[in-house]
Chain A
């Protein structure tokens, strides 16, 4: 991935010194960036005595894998249930948001309709107002529907993102028309062209948007906090936050809970990082 500009500069002695300096700086920065993950593992698999010892212990002398079992067995901590809620919310929101937005984006990009520009303008107008600022208004509507502390209340308002629909529209505008026209000649309608031609040929883009939506959904905090008013509807983020402020559970349990909560995303990160990077570059920011 070297740019051509590296040619001519990098071969000199000066370039070698520069390379050594650059790698040194990078290694130091990398260690700093990994430090919080180290703390998560050190504290999560340590004992409280080790964590709070006056002299810093670099790593627990024995790894307390039992901390994980202790966490899930603790009746005062609804960890398993919160993870289940988070999983449900993120999976349904990701699939739902991608399906709804990609259909809307396709309709706006490809199906002629007299008021299509008006509909697009209404969607673009919502991009001006970030979702977080509207949490009070949205709470007013969702509580009138009686959806407080329900999975519906957690999931449904997050299914409709003007931003994602707009991104899909932009993407479909650049989708090669010839492919669709071939499908039309073969007698497929709009639905057939979308489902059999456009979607199978857009899996990279869909994966990029899907991965970044999943990430945002799993890590979301403000809306789940507002809507999850009893512990049966907590997501894992709300659960962690509540354990932290109430401080009813001990330190090693708290850290092992945090470590468990990031495992699904670490898996996504390891196996789908390509799509994540593409999604970030594609969308700038999500949410």
Chain B
């Protein structure tokens, strides 16, 4: 629907002059309709996204303990503090370790499951549903099961029960900093919850591969199995794989729920294993309510992820479709 169509319809019975005028003004006359449709959404987006970002950028230059209307300007001091704060830098380190564990395993397992499920003749929908089912579970519920049942550090925990069968001593999965067994719980939890989700993305990617490619490979004598996978399937899944890696990385960057629920105890959160959002949560909303440093941290984190997103757009083209 162009502005010309609108003008024409409105003036079917008008004179030629009216029509010309209407045509000239048609572009302006659609603005009320535009704002009826877009206005309510945009107003909310401004109030709850743009205003917070701007306010927060302002706060990041102030000393803002327990107040959101501070008066003491401190310049870049909050940024300098954050970038030299060993806890903040450690939180970026925790994210990096998490990403190194979670990204390759997620890609490998979700691709593996997709390949297994994709060619099934029987019970395909059943297996797809089973692997996708954990996506309906919240991180809180998963953390509850992981913490109090599977990786419970006492004898009745499932993991320790199984280890006990092999004569291995109980492992304090979540309470010790070294060795950092807590990574086993954190990584398996996220894998369980999200692998089915990425499997669905890979399945969609597999369905888009034209069948002729496989027929041609067969005619050309490519060996079924590894050769076909290496030279047909994998290159064709390149765009999906890139998307899965990036989505996964951005999701890991924002990890909060499972860390908070697995690691904290009645005594509070331990000083280790704090990813960026957990660190930010305790800085800005903990006892100190330090909004100045909290805002500076949020700005730094947003800039870091913004850079990654822009690079992604530059490298792989904007949009998430294959």
Contacts and interface: CB of A to CB of B under 8 A. Distances in A.
Contact of A5 (B214, B298, B302): B214
Contacts of A171: none
Is the contact region of chain B dominated by helix, strand, or loop, or is it mixed? helix
Contacts of A181: 1, 5
Contacts of B139: 219, 221
Interface residues of A, number: 108
B40 to A, nearest CB: 6
Residue among A37, A108, A134, A268 with most chain B CB within 10 A: A134
A193 B124 CA distance: 40
A90 B290 CA distance: 31
Contact of A56 (B47, B161, B281, B285): B161
A221 B140 contact: yes
A165 B45 CA distance: 11
A6 interface: yes
A182 to B, nearest CB: 12
B145 A141 contact: no
Residue among A29, A114, A165, A226 with most chain B CB within 10 A: A29
A129 to B, nearest CB: 5
Contacts of A173: none
Contacts of B200: 277, 280-281
Nearest to A3: B211
Residue among A10, A103, A106, A127 with most chain B CB within 10 A: A103
B260 A162 contact: no
B199 to A, nearest CB: 10
B48 A132 contact: no
B215 A5 contact: yes
A247 interface: yes
B254 A133 contact: yes
A143 interface: yes
Given A3-B214, A137-B295, A261 B148 contact: no
23 contacts: A29-B116, A34-B130, A56-B156, A103-B40, A104-B40, A107-B38, A108-B38, A112-B30, A113-B34, A122-B50, A130-B305, A132-B277, A137-B52, A137-B55, A140-B59, A144-B68, A160-B48, A184-B1, A190-B33, A244-B147, A262-B141, A281-B201, A281-B204
B148 A157 contact: no
Contacts of A246: 266
Given A9-B224, A29-B131, A136-B280, A261 B141 contact: yes
B85 interface: no
Nearest to B113: A29
Contacts of A151: none
B33 A114 contact: no
Interface stretch (B75-83, B91-99, B172-180, B243-251): B243-251
A200 interface: no
A268 B265 CA distance: 32
Interface string B147-182: 111100011101001000000000000000000000
B131 A30 contact: yes
B2 A112 contact: yes
Interface of A: 1-10, 22, 25-26, 29-30, 33-37, 39-40, 43, 51-54, 56, 100-101, 103-104, 106-108, 110-114, 116, 119, 122-123, 126-130, 132-144, 156-157, 159-160, 162, 165, 177, 180-181, 184-185, 189-191, 194, 215, 218-219, 221-222, 225-226, 237, 240-241, 244-247, 251, 254-255, 258, 261-262, 265-266, 268-269, 273, 276-277, 280-281, 284-285
B192 interface: yes
B127 interface: yes
Interface of B: 1-3, 5-6, 9, 27-28, 30-31, 33-34, 36-38, 40-42, 44-45, 47-53, 55-56, 59, 68, 113, 116-121, 124, 127-150, 154-156, 158, 161, 192, 196-197, 200-201, 204, 206-207, 209, 211-215, 218, 224, 228, 243, 247, 250-251, 253-254, 256-257, 260-261, 264-266, 277, 280-281, 284-285, 291, 294-295, 297-298, 301-302, 305-306, 309-310, 320
Contact of A6 (B42, B119, B149, B260): B119
A25 B144 contact: no
B118 A241 contact: no
Given A51-B156, A162-B45, A36 B305 contact: no
Contacts of A127: 309
A189 B29 CA distance: 13
Contacts of A156: 44, 48
A140 B138 contact: no
A60 B158 CA distance: 15
A1 B149 CA distance: 38
Contacts of B154: 52
Contacts of B294: 136
Contact of B1 (A110, A114, A265): A110
Contacts of B228: 5
B140 A128 contact: no
B36 to A, nearest CB: 7
